[in-house]
């Protein structure tokens, strides 16, 4: 497994080694020692999967009191996956990193606790799976506005209007969320 740093030092890109032949392929998608070697001492407790259609934008989501680390991968399709540092005392607070994840490139993005997460679907359909380091707590969920000018994520929408959930339509700017903590 190759591991690369992104624009944010704590957000890592994993590229599994693919072993294939005429019958198909095999790849290792997770190994605890890769995290331990980098001083990441967290256990995954929940796996999630979503399906979304083209131009869907999910995020930027986080939990206030039960922050989740996420290891994200794409089972079908292509997404632009984004992590935003929302740790108030971090030197990279409000900064973001984005990576293209697809079934074809098989890359995975590690998003540590303390980061908001979102993705934009570029293919007709995308199936996204992610491992989480804490359980989902509905009462604790929050959303940062996907187009918050303070963060200025460069979403590859090519002028399309993203399809948003009601929750994401009602999301707040990062500065508003920090003030309300």
What is the distance, to the nearest Å, from the Cα of residue 27 to the centroid of all Cα atoms in its chain? 21
- Active site members: 61, 130
What is the C-alpha to C-alpha distance for residues 126 and 102, in angstroms, rounded to an integer? 8
Domain region containing 160? 2-179
Taking the model in full, what pTM does it have?
Answer: 0.93
Torsion of Cα atoms, 52 then 56 then 57 then 59, to 10° = -40
pLDDT tens by residue, 79-104: 999 999 999 999 999 999 999 999 99
pLDDT tens by residue, 14-27: 999 889 889 888 88
pLDDT tens by residue, 148-174: 999 999 999 999 999 999 999 999 999
Sheet holding 125-132, edge to edge: 2-5, 12-15, 108-111, 70-76, 125-132, 46-53
Q: Assign residue 157 the CATH number of its domain.
A: 2.60.120.10
Average pLDDT over residues 60-72: 96
Given a contact cutoff of 8 angstroms between Cβ atoms, the answer to whether 110 and 12 are in contact is yes
Total domains, the chain: 1
Q: What angle do CA 9, 11, 15 make, to 5 degrees?
A: 115
Which residues face 181 on adjacent strands?
A: none
Q: What angle do CA 116, 16, 61 make, to 5 degrees?
A: 10
């Amino acid at each position: 497994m190759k591991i690369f740093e992104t624009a944010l030092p704590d957000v890592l890109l994993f590229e599994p080694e693919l072993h294939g032949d005429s019958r198909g392929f095999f790849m290792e998608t997770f190994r605890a020692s890769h995290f331990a070697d980098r001083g990441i001492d967290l256990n995954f407790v929940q796996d999630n999967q979503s399906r979304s259609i083209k131009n869907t934008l999910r995020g930027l989501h986080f939990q206030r009191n039960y922050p989740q680390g996420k290891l994200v991968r794409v089972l079908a399709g292509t997404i632009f996956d984004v992590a935003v540092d929302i740790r108030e005392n971090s030197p990279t607070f409000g900064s973001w990193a984005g990576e293209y994840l697809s079934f074809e490139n098989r890359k995975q993005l590690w998003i540590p606790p303390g980061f908001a997460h979102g993705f934009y679907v570029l293919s007709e359909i995308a199936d996204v799976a992610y491992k989480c380091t804490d359980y989902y707590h509905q009462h604790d969920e929050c959303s940062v506005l996907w187009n918050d000018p303070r963060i200025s994520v460069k979403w590859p929408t090519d002028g399309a209007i993203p399809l948003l959930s009601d929750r994401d339509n009602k999301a707040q700017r990062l500065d508003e969320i920090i003030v309300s903590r």
